[in-house]
Amino acid sequence: MEAISQVILRNEARLPPGPLLLIDAARDSLGDALRTARVAEPPAPARAVRLSTQDFGDFRWFEAAGAVVEFAAVPTLSGAEQAVVLRLPREKDRLAMLLHAVGAQMQAAELSAARLWLVGENRAGIKSAGCYLQQYFGQVASLDKARHCGLFEASAPRPDRPFRLEDYVLDWSVRHAGRAIHLRTLPGVFAHGRLDRGTQLLLEALERRQPRGKVLDFACGSGVVGLALQAAAAGELQLTLLDASALALESSRRSLAASGLDPAAVNLLASDGLSELSGAAADRFDWIVSNPPFHRGVRNDLDVAAGFFRVAGNCLRETGRMVVVFNRHLPYPQWLQGAFGRVERLAESGEYTVIEASRPASLVARKMARNAPNRAP
């Protein structure tokens, strides 16, 4: 069990016995432990625990574990909660958005006695989180400091303007192939409100390649890469925007509308890596483009990219190509060379590298097996 979950559990007796909502909880057994903590003290019934997460991988994990869980950009309170537990997000503007969303819902009469717990690691910034809580709640107290983590409790939400997700959207634009691409992004989305240098280098390389056909934008974030390609292709492109983040997918949907593109004509897909793609021949892509993530929360985590490179070839047609950008210090070139028969460096800057990979090893092996002569048993 993660340290933040241990801190919550060691303070479990402070929680009311009624329904509880966990927001963006860690992938561990905390929910089960909170649900059953009071069963050993009859006649108290098991506590009802529900989860809400902005991460599709977490959603699938909790769903498989039998939890009651929603995948949503913003958590929804049912009105029955006696307590809400929020894991501190990495971004302060996302924290402000979540506190506003939860606090606004807690102003309902049936939730007036509910409490909010905010828990996080010291290195994630929990020590300074109290000032954010005080903007939205009248009563804030520090409950615990242990295992390099902190736990705050807040109640009495302050009267504030009603929560509207629209108020947290940033409007911005970039130019690609002589066209303006309009973006609308939310806190927590990579490069919120700006075009990062790596993606800029990727777009410059793709402008020379001019992808057409079926295109997958993996870890799409704001959707900027896919939308730029869609605009440049003038209708000769079938686009799928894929991300594990509910906030990224909501941002992409809004960006599509802002750029004058019909969201119904683009496939917006929630997926943990490529898990939601079938890999069937009819569903494979001509191009996969990506600026793959290497962070999970405050930690560096290369597992997402490693898993992506390992199976991406199964989602490409035999003539398909994948173009990715990444920080130069990452070991991606070696990984790509192990998964593809052809790896070419398209562009490079002081910080970033763009590589095109083709001839997936998995498809080459499959083709060789099909063409091998039949052998007698």
Query: Is 199 in the same domain as 119?
Result: no
Listed range (140-154, 277-291, 343-357) with the worst mean pLDDT:
277-291
Question: 337 in a domain, yes or no?
Answer: yes
3-state secondary structure string across the chain: CCHHHHHHHHCHHHCCCCCEEEECCCCCCHHHHHHHCCCCCCCCCCCCEEEEECEHHHHHHHHHCCCEEEECCCCCCCCCCCEEEEECCCCHHHHHHHHHHHHHHHCCHHHCCCEEEEEEEHHHCHHHCHHHHHHHEEEEEEEEEECCEEEEEEEEECCCCCCCHHHHCEEEEEEECCEEEEEEECCCCCCCCCCCHHHHHHHHHHHHHCCCEEEEEECCCCCHHHHHHHHHHCCCEEEEEEECEHHHHHHHHHHHHHCCCCHHHCEEEECCCCCCCCCCHHHCEEEEEECCCCEECCEECCHHHHHHHHHHHHHEEEEEEEEEEEECCCCHHHHHHHHEEEEEEEEECCCEEEEEEEEEHHHHHHHHHHHCCCCCC
pLDDT tens digit string along 266-284? 999 999 999 999 877 778 9
Give me the chain's average pLDDT, please.
90
Query: Is 119 in the same domain as 205?
Result: no
pLDDT tens digit string along 322-335? 999 999 989 899 99
Query: Is 160 in the same domain as 174?
Result: no
Which of 149, 165, 181 is the C-terminal boundary of a domain?
165
Question: 312 in a domain, yes or no?
Answer: yes
Listed range (91-95, 117-121, 178-182, 230-234) with the worst mean pLDDT:
230-234
The pLDDT score that the predictor gives to residue 370 is: 55
For the entire predicted model, the pTM comes to 0.91
The pLDDT score that the predictor gives to residue 142 is: 96
Query: Is 231 in the same domain as 159?
Result: no
Question: 376 in a domain, yes or no?
Answer: no
Q: Is pLDDT at 106 greater than 80 in this prediction? A: yes
Q: Is pLDDT at 261 greater than 50 in this prediction? A: yes
The pLDDT score that the predictor gives to residue 282 is: 76
Question: 374 in a domain, yes or no?
Answer: no
The pLDDT score that the predictor gives to residue 126 is: 94
Which of 129, 144, 165 is the C-terminal boundary of a domain?
165
Question: 377 in a domain, yes or no?
Answer: no
Confidence grade of residue 298 (pLDDT, cut at 50, 70, 90): very low
Query: Is 115 in the same domain as 235?
Result: no
Q: In this prediction, what percent of the chain has a pLDDT beyond 70?
A: 92
Q: Is pLDDT at 348 greater than 90 in this prediction? A: yes
pLDDT tens digit string along 148-165? 999 999 999 998 789 999
Query: Is 149 in the same domain as 189?
Result: no
173-182, 239-248, 271-280: which is most confident = 239-248
Tell me which residue range forms the domain holding 62: 3-165
Which of 144, 165, 186 is the C-terminal boundary of a domain?
165
Question: 348 in a domain, yes or no?
Answer: yes
Question: 220 in a domain, yes or no?
Answer: yes
Q: In this prediction, what percent of the chain has a pLDDT beyond 90?
A: 75
Count of domains in the chain?
A: 2
The pLDDT score that the predictor gives to residue 44 is: 65
> What is the CATH classification number for the domain harbouring 253?
3.40.50.150
Query: Is 115 in the same domain as 183?
Result: no
Q: Between residues 375 and 165, which one has the greater pLDDT?
A: 165
Question: 364 in a domain, yes or no?
Answer: yes
Query: Is 279 in the same domain as 244?
Result: yes
The pLDDT score that the predictor gives to residue 375 is: 52
Confidence grade of residue 374 (pLDDT, cut at 50, 70, 90): low
Query: Is 289 in the same domain as 316?
Result: yes
Query: Is 206 in the same domain as 322?
Result: yes
pLDDT tens digit string along 192-224? 999 999 999 999 999 999 999 999 999 999 999
Query: Is 161 in the same domain as 174?
Result: no
Query: Is 124 in the same domain as 179?
Result: no
